[in-house]
C-alpha cells in the first residue's frame, strides 16, 4: 500500500494523469526469436502483403537494436506494394489535444535486395487500419545508426488506432525495393499546443 501511495504522489507531483500517458503495446517489437515474416505481438497487418520482419538476424540485417532485443523491419516493393502495421490504443487520442512521442529509425544497406532508403508515415484512425489523419512522415531514412525522431501532432478527431507505414520517396513514379527499421516507440504524452 505504501508503495502505491508513493507512485500516486509521484504522478500527481508531475501533473500527469493516466489520460496524459498512452502506452504503445510492444513498442520495441520484442519477440521470442528474430524471425522473418512475423507480426510483432500486439500489432496487426494493415495492408495486404504485410509480412514484417522481427530483426536482427534475418535477411542479412544485423543492426543492433536501439532498445531491448529486437526491432521491426518494414519494406516497400517494386510492384508498388508496401507494409503497414497498426494497433488499438488502450486510451483514445482526444480530439483537439496535442500529443507527442518519439521513435528510433534506421536503414539497412543489406536487406536482401530491399536496400534503398524509404520514409515512414504514421497515421491515426477511428477504426482498425483506417488512415483518417496523417500524423507525421519522416524524410528518407539513410542513416544506418539509430536516430530518434519526435512526432508531435494535434488530433483532428478522437482516434483509437495508430498505423506505422513504410512508404516510397516523395515524387517517385517508379516504385522500388526499400526498407526502414523501427524501434523504441515511447509512450504517447499529452503536450502543450504552443
Instruction: List alpha helices for the chain, DSSP H.
Output: 2-14
The per-residue pLDDT for range 156-187, each reduced to its tens digit, is: 999 999 999 999 999 999 999 999 999 999 99
Listed by start position, the domains of the chain span 20-191
Instruction: Look up the pTM and report it.
Output: 0.89
> Which CATH class name applies to 20-191?
mainly beta
The per-residue pLDDT for range 103-161, each reduced to its tens digit, is: 999 999 999 999 999 999 999 999 999 999 999 999 999 999 999 999 999 999 999 99
Amino acid at each position: 500500500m505504501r508503495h502505491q501511495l508513493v507512485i500516486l504522489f509521484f504522478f500527481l507531483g508531475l501533473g500527469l494523469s493516466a489520460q496524459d500517458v498512452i502506452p504503445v503495446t510492444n513498442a520495441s517489437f520484442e519477440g521470442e526469436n528474430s524471425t522473418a515474416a512475423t507480426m510483432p505481438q500486439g500489432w496487426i497487418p494493415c495492408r495486404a502483403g504485410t509480412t514484417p520482419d522481427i530483426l536482427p538476424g534475418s535477411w542479412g540485417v544485423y543492426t543492433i537494436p536501439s532498445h531491448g532485443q529486437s526491432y521491426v523491419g518494414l519494406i516497400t516493393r517494386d510492384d508498388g506494394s508496401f507494409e503497414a502495421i497498426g494497433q488499438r490504443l488502450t486510451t483514445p487520442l482526444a480530439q483537439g489535444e496535442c500529443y507527442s512521442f518519439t521513435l528510433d529509425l534506421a536503414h539497412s544497406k543489406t536487406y536482401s535486395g530491399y536496400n534503398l532508403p524509404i520514409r515512414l508515415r504514421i497515421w491515426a484512425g477511428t477504426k482498425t487500419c483506417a488512415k483518417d489523419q496523417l500524423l507525421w512522415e519522416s524524410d528518407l531514412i539513410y542513416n544506418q545508426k539509430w536516430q530518434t525522431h519526435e512526432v508531435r501532432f494535434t488530433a483532428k478527431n478522437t482516434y483509437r488506432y495508430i498505423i506505422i507505414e513504410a512508404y516510397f520517396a516523395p515524387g517517385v513514379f517508379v516504385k522500388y525495393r526499400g526498407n526502414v527499421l523501427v524501434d523504441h516507440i515511447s509512450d504517447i504524452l499529452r503536450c502543450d499546443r504552443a
